[in-house]
Structure 1
Amino acid sequence: MRSSRVEELITIGALARASGLTTSALRFYADCGLLTPTEVDAATGYRYYTRSQCERAVLIRRLRGIDLSLEAITEVLAADPDRAERLLDAHVAVLERRAKAAARVAAQVKRTLGAGHGTAVPAAELARAIAQVGAAAAVDDSAPVLTGILVEADSTALTLTATDRYRLSTRTVAPLRNGGAWTAVIGAATLASLRPWLDSIEEVVLAPRESGLALTSGDTEHDCAGIGEPFPEYRAVLDGLPTVRTRVLVARAALLDLLETATDESVVCAVDGAGLAVSGAVTATRLPAVITGAPMDLAFRSTVLRPAVASAIGPDLMFDLAAPDQPVVVRSATDGDLTTLVMPTFVPTTEDDR
């Protein structure tokens, strides 16, 4: 009989259940000397352990779970607490370096794979397009789709469009990689909230989802909920504009500087063979401009014309004029193009007064 002071022995199966290890793993650790049985029956070969060995078995399982080698586990379990802590910290530091390296590789692979599933564009260009187009989105959510930006991709461009039915802006961005044809309508406020992130990265991949749109860069992904209503047929609006009678090409910076000094609620633009005369600012000024077509006088609310000029891209602006009481198409372009409709305030001519 065993003395009552001798610790109770348990079978390998009982130790397996108590420690979370399999019996085959316990045999493996026994054979490599990491967790040897307290007693082995010579006749049957059954292995017996003490209950106190369960704690060591659990430690082995947990250390194997963080990819510690058997040699390193042996060293940790044999070390004093301070040395064991240093050994574990060093191992965790190695794991962190490997995780960061793996994340970099995964990001590169995801970008490569994403070329066939999404449209890649320069992030800074997308951020600017969101700001430029989003100004035309409605704030009142009585018609939710009008608070959104229509995002469209095809083989040549990523196009963003917004309208509140009184204004309309559409902007294209040249893609870095084409991801097929798709569309999504996303809230202008949702996209605007991503601008700080977009400004901090170089490239972003946009891909449609059932729920909306995903924007991905490296290991960061933003899922944007979509708006399920159909977006207005804005191309029909553009195609239905009256025939252009006059076209004006003017330097954007010069016109913007002039509009920034506007003191009146309205500014009057007189287009003739001598250029573009703007009144309503501190002083009436004539800007050099290339004019094609008939002379025309138009008036704009300064709060409407100024944002259209300020949000334009590139050094030059083109105005397509049909009549003093018809929408003016403001166009600009660099690597993409931006088109904005601006409604003038009709200014009667002397002949009209008569």
Structure 2
Amino acid sequence: MKFRVERDVLAEAVTWVARGVPARPSVPVLAGILINADAEGSITLSAFDYEVSARITVPADVQDAGTVLVLGRLLSDISRNLPAKPVEFSTSGNKVDVTCGSSRFSLMQMPEGDFPTLPTAPEASGTIDGGAFTQAVAQVAIAADRGDTLPILTGVRVEIDGDKMTLLATDRYRLAMRELHWNPAATDANQVLLVPGRTLLDTAKSLGTTGSIDLAFGGAAGGDGLVGFEAGQRRSTTRLLDGEYPKVSSIFPTSSETEVVLATAELVEAVKRVALVAERNTPVRLKFGEGQVTIEAGTGDDAQASEAVEATLTGPDLEIAFNPHFLLDGLGAVGTAYTRISFTQPSRPAVLSGQDEADGDADTSYRYVLMPVRFAS
């Protein structure tokens, strides 16, 4: 095998495929990236750990076609640090020689015959705008559980109903839901899938800049439990989580007694400052009154802090406490100049939504539900 490829093209391709290389592979061969040089003038790089697959095809000057398997993370490190010159790959015995200017590396070939065959993505289900999908996934994935106690909660629930897609995630302390439109191949599309949250977020971020993303929701029945993503020459699949997601839609309050509208950036900065004195796992207290909200943290002999932020209040005054990190996650995900917080009572969940203007309507296509923390009055 022998080919030449532009350094930036190689670095970008290897970096993207290396997402599918596990840090601690169950078998050594899974630590590799498979490189296939096609006589037609392209190379395809692939990685697969039996859960997530990644594949990309880029142009190259191929002199001798062939296939090799090399350590993925090592190749990624090398490709990112090469000088800005064309890179030449060639095989010599059981080695792969990488030459770029005066830089030369010799990599061991791994047994390509032991590398697993990448799964075939399910049939395409439709397309979605990359930017909108990336934003929606980021807004929801923050609420997915990051632990292993309840694996089902590490996923993002994706519900398809015609041209409407609903993403939902919860870790029991907060819940995020985003509704958006997409372009299904079938107008009567109706499906529910559970996609690993971290993988979905990583994939959406890496594909979102490419314009349009092709989605393939195979599901457990039609696609061997896989979901596929494709944009340009980048293709990825991930295995779906198996299990029944808890029925959490009832958590959304059907009415509110108090609603507050605040400037998002001002509230974020105030919470960050006050939270500096909040010890680990202690909440910040928010006291909503006419014209303002006062954020407080710390009690007794401990360090204390407070700050007031202008607010528009509708309904009775309220005092409530939140985990500051969870509150900041929600405020950051809203992504609008103003945030509306709706309450029923201090012991019940609050709902955050965004709006562009102080006296405008809330955009309920994204809602972030946050459980309050009990505190001593």
Fold conserved (TM > 0.5)?
yes
- The amino acid that maps onto 1:181 is N
Offset, 1:143: 2.7
- Where structure 1 has 5 or more consecutive residues not aligned to the other structure, the ranges are 1-64, 67-88, 91-115, 350-354
Residue 234 of structure 2 is matched in structure 1 by 220
1:252 correspondence with 2:264: yes
Verify: 1:345 aligned to 2:358, yes or no.
no
**Aligned runs of 1:290-305 on 2, under 5 Å?**
290-305=312-327
Kindly tell me the number of residue pairs found equivalent between the two proteins.
Answer: 237
Aligned residues of 2:284 and 2:321 also touching (Cα < 8 A) = yes
Specify the alignment match of 2:277 in structure 1: 264
Aligned partners of 2:140 and 2:248: how far apart in 1? 13
The answer for the alignment partner of 2:213 in structure 1 is: 204
Instruction: List aligned pairs for 1:11-90, cutoff 5 A.
Output: none
Number of the residue aligned with 1:155: 162
Structure 2 unpaired stretches of 5+: 1-38, 41-61, 64-122, 299-303, 357-362
The 5 A counterparts of 1:310-329 are: 310-329=332-351
Q: Please give the secondary structure, in 2, of the residue aligned with 1:213.
A: strand
- Report Cα offsets for 1:205-261 as digits up to 9, x if no partner: 2231122322122343322211121211121332xx474210111111111121221
- Alpha carbons 2:353, 2:364 under 8 Å: kept: no
Q: Which amino acid aligns with 1:201?
A: T
Partner of 1:275: 292
1:183-194 equivalences in 2 (<5 Å): 183-194=192-203
Q: Which residue does the alignment assign to 2:27? A: none
How far is the alpha carbon of 1:346 from its aligned partner? 3.2
Say which is worse superposed, 160-169 or 195-204, in terms of deviation. Answer: 195-204
SS of equivalent to 1:190 = helix
Structure in which a larger fraction of residues adopt strand = 2
| Matches of 2:376 and 2:349, distance apart in 1 | 16
Amino acid aligned to 2:216: A
Are the equivalent residues in 1 in contact too, given 2:162–2:184 (CA < 8 A)?
no
Q: Is the 8 A contact 1:297 1:347 kept in 2?
A: no
- Kindly indicate whether the alpha-carbon contact (under 8 Å) linking 2:226 and 2:240 is maintained by their aligned counterparts in 1: yes
- 1:287 corresponding residue in structure 2: 309
Matched, 1:306 2:328: yes
Over aligned residue pairs, what C-alpha RMSD do you find? 3.1
* 1:295 CA drift (Å): 0.6
Over alpha carbons, which structure has the higher Rg? Answer: 1
TM superposition score normalised by structure 1 = 0.59
Quick one: structure 1 residues 196 and 244, their matched pair in 2 at CA, closer, same or farther if it must change by over 3 Å? closer
Moved >6 Å (runs of 4+): none
Counterparts of 2:130 and 2:263 in 1: how far apart (Å)? 27
* SS of residue paired to 1:227: coil
Whole-angstrom distance in 2 between the partners of 1:135 and 1:244: 24
Say if 2:246 is the partner of 1:232. Answer: yes
CA distance in 2, matches of 1:155, 1:347: 44
Q: How much identity, in percent, do the aligned residues show? A: 21
Where does residue 34 of structure 1 map in the other structure? none
Cα distance change on mapping 1:242 and 1:152 into 2, 3 Å = closer
TM-score computed with the length of structure 2 as normaliser? 0.56
Q: What is the rounded CA distance, in whole Å, between the counterparts of 1:149 and 1:143 in structure 2?
A: 13
